[in-house]
Amino acid sequence: MIIITQPTATEEQIEQIVARVQAFGVEAEVSRSESRVIVGVVGPEELVREKLLANMPGVEAVVPVAKPYNLASSEARGAASIVDICGVSIGCDSAVALICGPCSVESREQILSLARKVKDAGARLLRGGAFKPRTSPYSFQGLREEGLRFLAEARNETGLPVITEIMDARDLPMVERYADCLQIGARNMQNFSLLKEVGRSHLPVLLKRGFSATLDELIMSAEYILSEGNMNVLLCERGIRTFETATRYTLDLSAVPILKAKTHLPVVVDPTHGVGLRAFVPQMSLAAVAAGADAIMLEVHDTPDVAKSDGQQALVPETLSKLLPRLRAVANAIGRDL
């Protein structure tokens, strides 16, 4: 952290700034040029509370040097991470993985039938919600443990590893019994007690970006999971709120290269929620692969018009089958498999 003083700062003010820095238990190094004095913080920046310095008399600006996240940063590892979900590798140079399935698990027949169809269409992982974060408490909330059981049955039959959302830390032991990867939904991205709890799980975690969260906030949430010892974290861009109303959210594809530059974690894109309209999901999926996504998450439903949630944005399996060769062509064009 560097503290830039005002050109008019007095010697007394500079002494007070230095004393305040030292009170945090770190050293201050004073550099003088003709026009002003700069105070450098020597030692762990996390110890220093930036805001307590910013308002001091004589201070013009406080510039952090260290990143607020350590374990997630690209420097922390030096190379991109690969997250393994029951033998399916996601990240680095691995093939781009398709994660497909319904928004909600609705019945045993539904998830078994869809699991077979998405597998035939090229999916490597199965998604499906048993606990649904619905805006209204009167909307379908999910089949809970029964839904998890059906998902596990679909996994056992097809071999597709299962990703499912966890909303409440108290459900973790139960979800762990059935799932292969935990999903933290956009609405829970900053549920810090839940993040810490899944940080102690043996399962990988797919962390979705909150729709009002900056990329740094998403990375800080990942840091919560990593700091508890769980190094298997996937970041997921799923659309953010903007002034645009033509789509459900605005899919922020620049998140992909930026997250990859800032962190070593694999990046997943969910064009389904980002766009919210079935007709435009294929194009945005192609764009997500082109942007460098390590996996694409797509909602698929046999009869979307009667789906219990998010039917308007779900692809039918036939569309997925037709999309697959096009996704593969884009992946190949940027030197990747799919």
Binding site for ligand PEP (CB under 6 A): 103, 129, 133, 185-187, 208, 238, 273
| E strand segments, the chain | 2-5, 27-32, 37-42, 59-63, 83-85, 88-90, 97-101, 125-127, 162-165, 181-184, 205-208, 233-237, 267-269, 295-299
Q: Which does 149 bind (CB under 5 to 8 A by kind): ligand PEP, Mn ion, none?
A: none
Is 17 or 314 the residue whose CB approaches ligand PEP more closely?
Answer: 314
Backbone angles phi, psi at 277, to 5 degrees: -130, 120
19: number of Cβ within 10 Å: 10
147: number of Cβ within 10 Å: 23
User: What strands lie across the sheet with 59-63, from one edge to the other?
Assistant: 27-32, 37-42, 2-5, 59-63
Interface stretch with Mn ion, choices 105-113, 142-150, 177-185, 307-315 (CB under 5 A): 307-315
Q: Which does 208 bind (CB under 5 to 8 A by kind): ligand PEP, Mn ion, none?
A: ligand PEP
Q: Which does 133 bind (CB under 5 to 8 A by kind): Mn ion, ligand PEP, none?
A: ligand PEP
Shortest distance, CB of residue 142 to Mn ion, whole angstroms?
11
Distances (CA, A) of 43 to 30, 137, 286: 14, 49, 46
| Distance of alpha carbon 165 from alpha carbon 129, whole angstroms | 6
Regarding 310 and contact with Mn ion (CB under 5 A), the answer is yes
Is 129 or 204 the residue whose CB approaches ligand PEP more closely?
Answer: 129
| Distance of alpha carbon 328 from alpha carbon 165, whole angstroms | 27
Shortest distance, CB of residue 190 to ligand PEP, whole angstroms?
12
Q: Which does 238 bind (CB under 5 to 8 A by kind): Mn ion, ligand PEP, none?
A: ligand PEP
**Are 125 and 96 in contact, with CB atoms under 8 Å apart?**
no
Q: Which does 185 bind (CB under 5 to 8 A by kind): ligand PEP, Mn ion, none?
A: ligand PEP
Backbone angles phi, psi at 321, to 5 degrees: -60, -40
Shortest distance, CB of residue 272 to Mn ion, whole angstroms?
7
Regarding 165 and contact with Mn ion (CB under 5 A), the answer is no
Shortest distance, CB of residue 215 to ligand PEP, whole angstroms?
15
Backbone angles phi, psi at 78, to 5 degrees: 85, -25
Residue in the shown chain whose Cβ atom is closest to ligand PEP: 185
User: Which ranges of 213-300 would DSSP assign to H, the alpha helix?
Assistant: 215-227, 255-262, 271-275, 281-291
Q: Which does 186 bind (CB under 5 to 8 A by kind): Mn ion, ligand PEP, none?
A: ligand PEP
Residue in the shown chain whose Cβ atom is closest to Mn ion: 103
Is 62 or 103 the residue whose CB approaches Mn ion more closely?
Answer: 103
| Distance of alpha carbon 308 from alpha carbon 105, whole angstroms | 9
Shortest distance, CB of residue 237 to Mn ion, whole angstroms?
15
Q: Count the residues of the shown chain that bind Mn ion, applying the rule CB under 5 A.
A: 2
Shortest distance, CB of residue 269 to ligand PEP, whole angstroms?
11
Residue numbers 97-136 binding Mn ion by CB under 5 A? 103
Is 48 or 103 the residue whose CB approaches ligand PEP more closely?
Answer: 103
Is 103 or 189 the residue whose CB approaches Mn ion more closely?
Answer: 103
319: number of Cβ within 10 Å: 17
Residue with tokens 């009002």: 212
Shortest distance, CB of residue 112 to ligand PEP, whole angstroms?
19
| Distance of alpha carbon 125 from alpha carbon 86, whole angstroms | 10
Regarding 96 and contact with Mn ion (CB under 5 A), the answer is no
Shortest distance, CB of residue 129 to Mn ion, whole angstroms?
7
- Residues in contact with Mn ion by CB under 5 A are 103, 310
